[in-house]
Chains A and B, each alone.
Chain A
Amino acid sequence: MNPFSYVRPNSLKAAIEAMARDHSARFIAGGTNLLDLMKNGVALPEKLIDINQLPLREIRQDGNTLHIGALVLNSDLAAHDLVKTQHPLLSEALLAGASQQLRNMATVGGNMMQRTRCSYFYDTSMPCNKRQPNSGCGATGGINRMHAIFGASDNCIAVHPSDMCVALAALDATVLVAGPKGERRIPFTDFHRLPGNTPQLDNNLAKNELITAVEIPPHPFTKHTCYLKVRDRASYAFALVSVAVAMDISDNVIRNVRIAMGGVAHKPWRLPDAEKALTGKTPTSDNFRLAANIAIQGAKTYAHNGFKKELAFNSIQTALLKAATA
């Protein structure tokens, strides 16, 4: 870890100004990822701007929209009554992530900002285009069992590690950000990026911008939801594949459905074609199989993650079935 200075602003404005003054500065909230990155020499900020004093810890109902402050802790969010009753999928996804101890520290904004867990990104003596642009991708020709099967590029096949974000992508959430030029709103599915030629950029947040909240619009998905996370150990492991499903079923017809996957791409991976194929259909195993088949079209696998295509195919069906029968 390199030497760094530390400030703790009391207002959003002061936080953004502090960032603007220092090119290498980083915001810190729970620190559950940033501290690891600093210890490994992956992140070398010269200044940390602790945002824990900012008034961003509220969970409130704005009309029919749920407003979640960026500093709400993952464990608090998962346990909140409004979340459990209106957005059970989000609660499920949160509880599938990390460990209780980490969830007690990790914030909503921090969860979105967490970086990939690709081993090559973490080891400064190995190549990684995300950490060191143009140094090469260690994973493409290396050990890539955990890596992406959708949306990757020759430059980067890393995946986004979050569970929470998969649910938020499925629920069509919106990200509220503040920056020197004021506030703006980013659809959740546009927040994270695919690697393309700029794998060093995880998301579309501009330098000096800070996430202030996430909003979830009203939806009918309170009953038929499922967050299925397939992993190598029962807890505290990143997803091999995860599937978030939310369905509205009435009269044995799927009126509306959202499907998103984790562990398969550089961002939470929504499955619009599979959703479309299921809308208006009956919730049967055959239809679910059809949707899963659509979902895995275009999957590209590497030396060690070939299983993910089949695992995704099976997991989507399992999650759909679980949600339908919930």
Chain B
Amino acid sequence: MKKQQTGQPMNRVDGRLKVTGGAKYFADHQPADMQYAALVCSTISCGAIAGINATKALRAPGVVDVVSHLNAPPVPGYKKTTPGNKNGLQIFRDNRIYSNGQPVAIVVANTLERAVYAASLVEVQYNQETHYTNMEASMDKAFQNNRMKDYSRGEINAWQKAPVTHSAQYTIPLEVHNPMELAGIIAHWTTPDNLTLYAKTQGVKSVQETIQELFEIPEQNITVHSRFVGGAFGMALRVWPLEIATILAAKKIRKPVKLVITREQMFTLVGYRPNSSQKISMGATPDGKLTGITHEAVAITSPYEDFTEGIVAMTKFMYDCPNVNTRYQLVPLNMSTPIWMRGPGEATGSFALESAIDELSYKLKIDPLQLRILNHADTDPERNLPFSSKYLKEAYQIGAEKIGWSSRNPVPRSMQENGMLVGYGMSSGTFGAYRGKATVSAILKSDGTLTLQSAAADIGPGTATAMVQIAADVTGITPDKITFMLGESTFPYAPEQGGSATVSTVGSAVSDVCHALLKELANLAISQVPAFKQTTPELIIYEDGQLITADRQTKITHEALLQQQKLPEVKVTATSQGGDERKKYSMYSFSVHFAKVHVHPATGVVRIQHIVSVADAGAIVNTKTARSQMIGGVVGGIGMALTEEAILDHRFGRFINNNYADYHVPVNADTPPTDVYFVNKKDPHINPMGSKGLGEIALIGFAAAVSNAVFHATGIRVRDLPITPDKLLHIASTENATT
């Protein structure tokens, strides 16, 4: 019997390359005669460039050029649009400044140090105008577009009539993705209309498409390489102005140019999770049945793009509640455009919803876990469809058992341990389980090795590893003989790695192409190998790189089959996408997070002691990388809950903590023992593997679990993230601090 590969904790196929420095990230590439770039960025938040004096910079040693709106080569694609008409930031098109940190010029020199120094010598004069960066002070500018229409079912604001109600405002600050690897690009015009890019991206094909539209050159003239990405969390889901600036500089100087931005610039050039304010109001019967939920959210965007995400999405279907209405508005500010950050809108929305449910549970005097189970949605109340699979109740049960929920004293501030206040909290999360369209090529060589190619990405979850496992199960070829290649625009189409959809989308295409390959091999055997003449492809057994007749009397290896026919390889390409199952079922992944916290009664310092996270994400392809992905999401969630906040000084519109020392990404010491469990049951409808997405639900809901635990420990409800010590200080004044 062949060993099933999916479901195993297989080591990463590229793990060795990554830990030995063999993996080449975009900035590791070194085309001949490469030049180095540094950006000059705006120090005002709104206005226009009055002048740029590059004289000193151009005289500095090694400087090749200073490129700005004054002298940049034209971008043909800009002409299709009207300036200032929500086209995104069209870098170097004109002299407008929309936000602080906006690139004003790009300086190119023959070494990085010289470029950086010369950038400091560029003098920019501005005509400054009044800027707006404070959302609370700019609510009068709130608007809706057609991607964010009001939603309602049943009666609007029905919560107001309920016997037990809760209504509160929840705020989340601006958060920045801050992957270790900085953003940037190497741009090389090999001919006036052939462009090679080494990019940090979650989708080489979408980069190719964006460049094609802007520069109006044929798709095949644009080659994008991005085999390894050092973390992204969503910030590399689009082409940013910094990349266009580099491409323009390379075009102008006719040499390859590399730009790697600074940590400070990561706060203003590559998106962020927008700060938001959400009001959740809910009502229930005294026995805990929800009767109405109203969810109103406001988040920020840039002046030149409307960024929307699923802030209010979860509220519409998470609980079985007859009356739900939501509103979602944007406030345009003098900021760069946000972008999806892990868990995107649902992570934001779940903090409000899952905190509110917790708050309501105390008013009802019903256990918060019990309240969730009482209102469990067995079918999707938003779309009136069955779920393709939903094992949320099992996840609740696993999590409750592993954290020891039943030994929790439900009374806030009732538990202590070693002088610390002890709290237990929980929450749930959900995110759409998607499946898109992808194409994969399978090349079986006469040496018996299988190579799969698709323009997919791997920003860390272990894409290639999972694909090898899926291919091994279908083909019966052992994983050591299978290679999955990704991150090249010359490979067949795959969408960006985002929305937790890569395994579902690309994995399905891998499965399909492997089936197609087997059929090809079977037909070859049937037509060319006498012992197989009487059989059909369906009857053949595929094991260990062999075709075996149903009676197991005759075997032929892939090598022998190809060599007999003098075929160096067999290549099959297949495109895969779902059918109409999405019309029949609602497809979601679910997660449950439990946290045990300690709160210091005098200093308000919160330390998470134990985390249990459980995922209902269908069949798990690789239990090892999946566990890692869950832990990564939890660490992101710890940051959201306790430490991360990008702070602006609104007088200047500038960030004041735009570095790793002051913007607090959690460190190891913040990360307690984390137990990850999977329900690990196949979704029968979504895709051939039965796997739903995992990346987002790892983080979605987590912040609320911590906040709920902090409330349980202290009796203080923090509705404004992150939960820093100062927000819990007044616990001490209510009781003797040093007990």
Q: Which residues of A contact B (CB under 8 A)?
A: 1-3, 41, 99, 117, 119-120, 123, 125-126, 138, 141-143, 145, 228, 230-238, 240, 285, 288-289, 307, 310-311, 314-315, 317-318, 321
- Given A234-B607, A234-B667, A235-B669, answer yes or no on A315-B651 (Cβ-Cβ < 8 Å): no
A314 touches B117 (CB 8 A): no
B664-A314 in contact (CB<8A) = no
Q: In the complex the two chains form, is A321's CB within 8 Å of B738's CB?
A: yes
Complex interface: chain B residues within 8 A of A318 (CB):
600, 602-603, 737-738
Residue contact A311 to B724, C-beta cutoff 8 Å: no
In the bound complex, residues from chain A placing their C-beta under 8 Å from that of B654 are 123, 125-126
Which stretch of B488-496, B684-692, B726-734 is in the interface? B726-734
Instruction: Collect the chain A residues with CB atoms within 8 Å of residue B607's CB.
Output: 234
Cα A310 to Cα B726 with chains together (Å): 9
Q: How many A-B residue pairs have CB under 8 A?
A: 96
| Given A142-B651, A285-B738: A314 and B732 interface contact (C-beta under 8 Å) | yes
Residues of A contacting B737 with CB < 8 Å?
314, 317-318
Q: Does B647 contact A (CB under 8 A)?
A: yes
B649 touches A314 (CB 8 A): no
Given A3-B117, A119-B657, CB of A126 within 8 Å of CB of B669: no
Cross-chain contact of B738 among A120, A233, A317 (Cβ < 8 A): A317
B652 close to A (CB within 8 Å): yes
Q: How far is the CA of A138 from the CA of B726 in the complex (A)?
A: 22
Given contacts A119-B662, A310-B733, A318-B602, contact A233 B670 (CB under 8 A): yes
Identify 9 new A-B residue pairs, CB closer than 8 A, beyond the known A311-B604, A321-B738.
Answer: A2-B120, A125-B652, A126-B652, A145-B726, A233-B642, A234-B670, A235-B670, A236-B661, A311-B603
Point out the residues of chain B lying under 8 angstroms from A307, CB to CB: 725-726, 729
CA A234 to CA B647, docked complex, whole Å: 20
Q: Does B129 contact A (CB under 8 A)?
A: no
Q: When each residue 106-132 of chain B gets 1 if its CB lies under 8 Å from chain A and 0 otherwise, what string results?
A: 000000010011001000000000000
**Is B643 interfacial (CB-CB < 8 Å)?**
yes
**Could you say which residues of chain A place their CB within 8 Å of the CB of B736?**
285
Find chain B residues with CB under 8 A from A321 CB: 738
Docked Cα-Cα span, A138 to B649, in Å, equals 9
Chain B residues whose C-beta falls within 8 Å of the C-beta of A117 in the assembled complex: 661-662
Q: Known contacts A2-B117, A234-B607, A318-B737: does B670 contact A240 (CB below 8 Å)?
A: no
State which of B117, B656, B726 has its C-beta within 8 Å of the C-beta of A123: B656
Minimum C-beta distance from A80 to chain B (A): 23
- Interface pair B602/A237, CB less than 8 Å apart: no
B43 and A125 contact, CB distance less than 8 A: yes
Residue of B nearest to A306 (CB): B726
CA distance A117 to B660 in the complex (A): 12
* CA gap between A52 and B52 in the complex, in Å: 42
Residues of A with C-beta under 8 A to B49: none
Min CB gap A322→B, angstroms? 9
Which residues of the partner chain A approach B82 to less than 8 Å between Cβ atoms?
Answer: none
Chain B, 349-393, CB within 8 A of any chain A CB: none
Question: Is there contact, CB below 8 Å, between A1 and B664?
Answer: no
**A143 adjacent to B647 (CB under 8 Å):** yes
Which partner residue on chain B sits nearest A315 by CB separation? B603
B666 within 8 A of A: yes
- Cα–Cα, bound, A224→B271 (Å): 50
The answer to whether A288 and B738 touch across the interface, beta carbons within 8 angstroms, is yes
Q: Closest residue of chain B to A123, judged by CB?
A: B654
- Report the bound CA distance from A237 to B113 in whole Å: 29
User: Least Cβ distance of A7 to chain B in Å?
Assistant: 19
Residue of B nearest to A307 (CB): B726
Q: Tell me which residues across on chain A come within 8 A of B603, comparing CB atoms.
A: 228, 230, 311, 314-315, 318
A180 to chain B, nearest CB (A): 32
Complex contact B725–A240 (CB within 8 A): yes
How far in angstroms is the closest Cβ of chain A from B257? Answer: 20
Cβ of B516 under 8 Å from chain A: no
On whether the beta carbons of B656 and A233 are closer than 8 Å, the reply is no
Majority secondary structure of chain A interface residues (helix, strand, loop or mixed): loop
CB pair B113–A1 under 8 Å, yes or no, is yes
Task: Give CA–CA (A144, B630) in the complex, Å.
Answer: 36
Are A1 and B117 in contact (CB-based, < 8 A)? yes
Closest 5 A/B residue pairs (Cβ): A234-B669, A119-B656, A307-B726, A314-B602, A125-B43
Q: Are A237 and B664 in contact (CB under 8 A)?
A: yes
B600, B668, B737: residue with the most chain A Cβ atoms closer than 10 Å? B737
The answer to whether A315 and B602 touch across the interface, beta carbons within 8 angstroms, is yes
B113: chain A residues within 8 A (beta carbon): 1
**Complexed CA–CA distance, A232 and B173 (Å):** 15
Select from chain B the residue with minimum beta-carbon distance to A142: B649
C-alpha spacing A141/B117, complex, angstroms: 32
**Cα distance A236–B726 when bound, in Å?**
18
In the bound complex, residues from chain A placing their C-beta under 8 Å from that of B43 are 125
Q: How far is the CA of A2 from the CA of B61 in the complex (A)?
A: 12
Chain A residue numbers with a CB within 8 Å of B724 are 232
6 example contacts (A-B, Cβ-Cβ < 8 A) are as follows A143-B649, A233-B669, A234-B669, A237-B661, A310-B729, A318-B602
CB distance from B649 to the nearest CB of A (A): 5
CB distance from A282 to the nearest CB of B (A): 15
A204 to B35, CA, bound (A): 45
Instruction: Give the CA-CA distance A315 to B600 in the complex, in Å.
Output: 10
Q: Which residues of B contact A235 (CB under 8 A)?
A: 667-670
Given known contacts A240-B726, A310-B729, A232 and B738 CB-to-CB distance under 8 angstroms:
no
0/1 interface trace, chain B 695-739, chain A, CB 8 Å (1 if under): 000000000000000000000000000001110011011001110
The smallest beta-carbon distance between A16 and chain B, in angstroms, is 29
Chain A contacts for B661, CB-based, 8 A: 117, 236-238
Q: Hey, which chain B residues are within 8 Å of A237, CB to CB?
A: 661, 664
B572 touches A (CB below 8 Å): no
Establish whether residues B725 and A311, one from each chain, have CB atoms under 8 Å apart when the complex forms: yes
Distance between B706 CB and nearest chain A CB, rounded to angstroms: 14
Q: Smallest CB–CB gap between B592 and chain A, Å? A: 25
Nearest CB of A to B476, in Å: 48
Residues of chain A lying within 8 A (CB to CB) of residue B643: 232-233
Minimum CB–CB distance from A34 to chain B (whole Å) comes to: 15
Asked if A314 meets B729 with Cβ closer than 8 Å, knowing A3-B117, A321-B738, the reply is yes
User: Chain A contacts of B604 at CB under 8 A?
Assistant: 311
Residue of B642, B668, B729 touching A311 (CB-CB under 8 A): B729
CB of A314, distance to nearest CB on chain B (Å): 4
CA of A234 to CA of B608, assembled, Å: 11
Nearest neighbor of B44 in chain A, beta-carbon distance: A125
